[in-house]
Structures are given as structure tokens and as C-alpha cells.
Amino acid sequence: MSIGHAIKVRRAIVKISQVKLAKAVGVNQSYISMIENDDQIPSTDLLQKISAALGCKPEDLTQWPQAA
């Protein structure tokens, strides 16, 4: 799972739109879309803001359990 996909999934879980997430972290909606579509990789600072807005830790968006 990519960071973008993890953000998209988490955003759906917490029921927040791209527009609201973008406003919460100080970027525009199109940039959130580019991140979710893996066209952009968020900076460490932006990833921290995104995770805070989504109510999770940055690691929750970047680390996934390995398949056994």
C-alpha cells in the first residue's frame, strides 16, 4: 500500500473530504489529490500535518504489516 492510498483510505474512514483535509493542512485540494494518486510524495512536515488531521500517527500511513 502506498502512502497516497493509505491517506485516501484513512480519509474515507474518518469521513473527511479532500477539501477539508487540504484546508486543515494548508495546501490546496489538487495537491491532496496528487498525493493520493501517488503523483506527489508529501514532505515529512506535511505528512505529520496530514496524520494529525486524520487522527493517526505518521507511521500509520507509512508502515504496514508484512505478509507472513
DSSP state of 27: S
Residue 56 burial (C-beta neighbours within 10 Å; 0-12, 13-18, 19+): middle
- Alpha-carbon distance of 43 to 62, in angstroms, equals 12
Average pLDDT over residues 9-25: 97
pLDDT exceeding 70 applies to what percent of the chain? 93
- 10: nearest Cα among 66, 67, 63, 60: 60
What are the tens digits of pLDDT across the range 35-68?
A: 999 999 999 999 999 999 999 999 999 986 544 4
Domains of the chain, first to last: 3-60 (1.10.260.40)
Place of cell 490546496: 28
- Alpha-carbon distance of 24 to 31, in angstroms, equals 13
